[in-house]
Each structure stands twice: as C-alpha cells, then as structure tokens.
Amino acid sequence: MANGQISAVNIDPAATQSETQAASDVAEQLDHLLAPAHPGTRHSPRHAFVIFGASGDLASRKIFPALASLARSGELPDEFTVVGVARTELDDASFRRLVLDATGDEDDAWRRLVPRFRYVSGDYGDDSTFRKLCGVLSEVDRDCSTGGSRVYYLATVPSLFGPIATSLGRHGIARAPAAKTRASDEPFVRIVVEKPYGRDLAGANALDELMHSAFDESQIYRIDHYMGKETVQNVIALRFANAVFEPIWNRRYVDHVQVTVAESLGVEHRGGFYETAGALRDIVQNHVMQVVALTLMEPPAASDAQSIRDEKVKLLRAIEPPDPAEVVGNSIRAQYGPGTINSEAVPGYRFEPGVASDSTTETYVALQLSADNWRWAGVPIYVRTGKRLPKRLTEVALQFRGVPHLPFQGRLSRDLGPNVLVIRIQPDEGIALSFGAKVPGAEFRLRSVSMDFSYEAAFSERPHDAYERLLLDAMMGDATLFIRSDEVDHAWRIVDPILSAFSDGSTSLHQYAAGTWGPHEANLLLERQGRRWRIP
Ligand code: BG6
C-alpha cells in the first residue's frame, strides 16, 4: 500500500483468499485516492504555472501560499516557475515582492524559486498580452527547463474565463507541444478554472463551448475547493472502507439527511460580487451539491476520476429539479438584518459596502431535495446555508429511523433522541455517532450520548490545505477531485428552477437577525414534516 493512509482496512483472519484480495484491492484504491495525507510523498512533474489574475485577492490569499507550502514540503520540482498575468502594471521584481508579501520568505526552497518568477501585464482582450505570454513561456522553458508543460490557473473575474481560454487556443498555447523526450516526461497543458462556472445552466453551457473550442475536457480542471478538504474526502473513506456503515446507508434505515454550510462572517469586502451571486449560486450549486453527491452516491467500482465522477453524476441526475409549485413549498430564502455575533454588533446585509440599500439578494437558503433512486426514494435531503449564522460550521448529518418498538416509554425515554451520524467537515473535523445509553441508577432511564472521533486527536500528520491538495492534483493530472462538465450541468439543472423562482418574485424574501440560525420559516419547512434542524 503506497501510503498506508487507510491501511487500517481490517482483514478478517477467517476470510477466504479472494475476500482478502478484494479487501486489500479496495484499501489500495482508496490509498491512491487519499494519498496526500503525508505531504512530501508526491512530486509534481516539471512545468510553468501560469496565473491569470495574479495581482488579485485570490492569488495572494490562496494560490501563492499553497504553492509556497508545496515548495516547503518538497512537492515542487526544481524545474518549476510561476508566470503571473494581470492588468496591473508590474515588473518581474515587483511581482516577486508581491508574492513574498503574500507568503513570507522564511522557507529556503520557496526563496530559491521566487527569483525566477515572471510577470506579464496587459489587457486580457488584447492579443499583444498573449503574444508577450508566448515569449515569456519560451524563455522560461529555456531558463527553468519547464519542458513546454503548463498549468494555467484562471483566478480572474468569471466573465474572462471564456475569452482567456479562447485566446490561449488562438495563440497555439492551449495544446502541449510534441514530446521531445522520453514518454514519462511528455509535456502537458492543463487549465484550472475557478468557480462560479456559469451563472446558470445556459451560461455554464456557453462557457463550456468556449473552453472546449481550445481545450479538451480532459485538460479542464474545474475547481471546487470543498473537494480539497480532507473531511470531504473522508466521506468516501468512511463509507467505502468500512463494513458497518454502508448496509444502513439507505432509505430503510435513514429517516432524512441534513447538510449545513454555516458561516459567521458576512460578505466582508465582497458585497459587489455577492450582489450578483447570492447564497444559492455561491454555495448551493457547487459546494453543497458536491457534498450531497459524495454522501449519497453509489459505491464506485474504483477510485479513479472517471469511476467517482460517474457515480456523482448518477446521483445528481436522480435529484429531480423542483417544479415552480414545489420551489415555493420547499425552499426558503432570506437575508440577514443587523444582529450580534460573538457579542459584537454587526450590520445588516443591506448596510454592507457594495450592497444596494434595497437589495433582494439572499444570504440564506434552506431547501428540501430528494434523490429518486432505489436507495434514497422518499428520504428528504434538507440543505441550508447562510452567512452571519452563529458560527462557522459545515456538517452532514444522517438521522436514522427509530426502533420499531421502544419498550421504555414516557419518563424513561424522555432524554432519548434519534441515532444521528454527523460528519463534521469543518471546523473541529471529525465524526460523531449519537445513540441511547442507560443512565446509571436503579431505573431503566435512557439518555442520548455521543461517540466522537476527532481528526486532530487521531492523526499527527499535517493535512494539506484544500488549495494545496487540488493544485498538486492538477499538476499531476489527477482529475478525481475536480468537477466534470456533466456534473456542473446537473448541479445547475437542479438549481436553475429555484433561481428563477427566487428572481421572479414567486418566493418571499424572509429576514433573520445576524447571529441566529436563519428565519423562522426555515424551521417550519421541517416542523411541518415532524422534523427539526439540528442545533450544532
Ligand atoms: C466560497 C464562497 O466559495 O466559499 C464564499 O464564494 C464562502 O462566499 C467560502 O465564504 C466558504 O469557504 P470555506 O472553505 O470557508 O467554507
């Protein structure tokens, strides 16, 4: 087993040889998928990493620190460099300073790499920008031995994704040059695209058309940083590396599923962007749909990109887009007003910088979905996300059905709740299972207790940050954790009718005070079905 990450797959001593073989095959496949728990165990092949939007916020906050961290843990080769592209006028030296300001310069490996970073300034609509880029790429191939391989990273505003991709195609740098050396060192060209991928299904299809005019689907790496989170990947480990969970992971035992993505922050300095997005586009279409797909998909035959993404697509296809009447009954949208978080007074959404004073953009969404397939028919999937909720927390909870007959009635079982399996994606990453136990004493009184696994307590290995993991995967050509074109389509197909109902006024915009768990109406969504949201 390459990395031993889940080498704890237990093999029963009484198992037959073929059962033992099958168990170790599964373990080996999952080891491959979950490989980089030990930073430093994988190495990117040589290439130039080209960032569009290099002077922007995302590059400084996420991408440069992730690259620096990969350099520190020895995962970047010597034959590597970064080429920044942006409109801001900078020269190479000031770009290098900007990078070091974002990352610090304590690490030797990183300090050695940065002096060769290059910068191209220019308008993205201007052919001369791409001509300059072609020249710089030839120079870095010569000076840094990057071998004609490139990873392009689109960290610009989304409206530029298509135009940049087509310009790369037009200038002949979207395809890898012919291999000159041994096959294992064949040049490659890949393009990583940030979210949002389109504003709706039609927009995503139009963007795909532009992307595909220059790049093959196999070259396109659509990023959803949630897929890079260790605990999101752990959903796969929990489900498919353990014998005890999968048999009860279905409609016969699960009463309903709750997915919560809660943030305590407001829109910060991104009010202008958020006004054009809203919670449904910003979180539900991508992060929530990915988490739902991994949690509810069928077991993949293998852990390669195609097998896993095929299963995710099958699950998303089983979620019927709601019709307009259903949207009104099954979705709640709301916006935060002023309130208090951590004893601090915070303004309402309409008072945030860049937000219209009469804005109707939703900062909270609660939805009921269902997956109409053999495994999940009739099991409600409740999802909610919001800004300015009491705390930052992402979790998936499977609430199980009750026992067929409870012999302990009334007072004896008053403190007994349902069995719930909670996968805490962040923070305080872990898994908890609540179950009933007897309270010590003469009476047979029951109370719910929780068995809790904490990632931090169990492992000493340093996890990769989500961007680090995903950048390294893209460099290595592993697309498993990236979003395929048909996944994007299906996620928009589900969200599109809800977006229309939100914008045509057929659903009301509710209010909630910052620092609360959302509007009262979201509670009613579950209460009318005899259920309630978890209070994490
Ligand atoms: C981003 C959204 O995709 O995810 C932000 O655009 C949101 O609005 C962020 O704050 C949440 O990410 P995380 O990793 O903090 O849960």
The letter for the amino acid at 146 is: T
For residue 2, what pLDDT is reported?
33
Query: Which residue among the candidates 225, 287, 464, 490 is catalytic per the annotation?
Result: 287
Tell me how far the alpha carbon of residue 426 lies from the centroid of ligand 1, in angstroms: 12
Residue 142 tokens read as 């010569």
Determine the distance from the C-alpha atom of residue 486 to the mean position of all C-alpha atoms in its chain, rounded to a whole number. 16
Distance CA 382, CA 367 (A): 6
Tell me how many degrees the CA angle 113-462-287 measures, rounded to the nearest 5.
90
- Does residue 298 contact residue 314 with C-beta atoms inside 8 Å? yes
Q: Is the pLDDT of residue 6 over 50?
A: no
Ligand 1 centre distance from Cα of residue 102 (Å): 20
User: Which is more confident, 359 or 406?
Assistant: 359
Cα separation, 54 vs 428, whole angstroms: 32
Distance, in Å, from the CA atom of 483 to the CA atom of 487, rounded to the nearest integer, reads: 6
CA distances from 116 to 105, 151, 152, 154, 192 (A): 14, 17, 17, 21, 22
Q: What sign has the CA pseudo-torsion 487, 490, 495, 496? A: positive
CA gyration radius for the chain? 25
Tokens 């037009």, residue?
170
What is the band of 1 on the pLDDT scale with cuts at 50, 70, 90? Answer: very low
pLDDT digits (tens, 9 = 90+) for 113-123: 999 999 999 99
Burial-class residue 89 by CB neighbours within 10 Å (0-12, 13-18, 19+): exposed
Residue 36's pLDDT is what?
Answer: 44
Summarize pLDDT for 29-83 with one digit per residue, the tens.
555 555 444 455 688 999 999 999 999 999 999 999 999 999 999 999 999 999 9
- pLDDT tens across 223-247, in order? 999 999 988 999 999 999 999 999 9
C-beta 31 within 6 A of ligand 1: no
pLDDT at 37: 41
Whether pLDDT at 410 is above 90: no
Q: Which two tokens stand for residue 454?
A: 């904490």
pLDDT for 536 equals 81
Judge if pTM exceeds 0.85.
Answer: yes
Residue 36: is the preceding peptide bond cis (ω within 30°)? Answer: no
Among 15-19, 118-122, 396-400, 416-420, the minimum mean pLDDT is found in 15-19
**pLDDT of res. 411:** 83
CA of 347 to the centre of ligand 1 (A): 20
| Structure-derived torsion over alpha carbons of residues 92, 98, 101, 106, reported in degrees to the nearest 10 | -30
Tokens of 23: 């168990």
Best of 281, 283, 364, 394 for a ligand 1 pocket test (most atoms within 8 Å of beta carbon): 283
> How high is the pLDDT of residue 293?
98
- Given a cut of 90, whether residue 11 has pLDDT beyond it is no
How far is it, in rounded angstroms, from Cα 140 to Cα 117?
9
Closest CA to 79 of 71, 91, 90: 71
Is the pLDDT at 21 greater than 80? The verdict is: no
Share of the chain above pLDDT 90, in %: 81
More confident residue, 435 or 36: 435
Residue 206 banded pLDDT, cuts 50, 70, 90: very high
Buried b (16+ CB within 10 A) or exposed e, 368-391: bbbbebebbeebbbbbbbbbbbbe
Whose CA is closest to atom 15 on ligand 1?
Answer: 263
Question: Is the C-beta atom of 310 inside 6 A of ligand 1?
Answer: no
Alpha-carbon distance of 517 to 266, in angstroms, equals: 14
307 half-sphere exposure, CB direction, 13 A CA radius: 11
Q: For residue range 158-203, list pLDDT tens digits in order.
A: 999 999 999 999 999 999 887 665 556 789 999 999 999 999 999 9
Assess whether the C-beta atom of 395 lies below 6 angstroms from ligand 1: no
Does residue 282 line the site of ligand 1, with CB under 6 A? Answer: yes
Q: DSSP string covering 449-517, please?
A: EEEEEEHHHH--SPPPPHHHHHHHHHHHT--TTSBPHHHHHHHHHHHHHHHHHHHTT-S-EEEEETTSS
- Percent of the chain exceeding pLDDT 70 equals 91
Question: 105 pLDDT exceeds 90?
Answer: no
Among 193, 287, 288, 391, which residue has the most ligand 1 atoms within 8 Å of its CB, making it the best to mutate? Answer: 287
Distance 282 CA to ligand 1 centre (A): 8
Compute the distance between CA of residue 370 and CA of residue 162 in angstroms, rounded to an integer. Answer: 33
Q: Looking at residue 31, what is its pLDDT?
A: 53
| Ligand 1 atom nearest to 226, measured from its CA | 14
User: Is 212 marked active-site?
Assistant: no
Residue 530: both structure tokens together: 């005899």
The pLDDT of residue 461 is: 84
| 224 close to ligand 1 (CB < 6 Angstrom) | no
Least confident of 99-103, 147-151, 261-265, 411-415: 411-415
Report all structural domains of the chain as residue ranges with CATH numbers, in order of start: 13-32+228-527 (3.30.360.10), 46-187 (3.40.50.720)
* CA-nearest residue, atom 8 of ligand 1: 282
For ligand 1, pick from 57, 231, 263, 470 the residue to mutate: most ligand atoms within 8 Å of CB: 263
Looking at ligand 1, which atom is closest to the CA of residue 277?
Answer: 6
Question: Residues 6 or more apart from 260 whose CB is under 8 A from it?
Answer: 383, 384, 385, 393, 394, 395, 397, 533, 534, 536
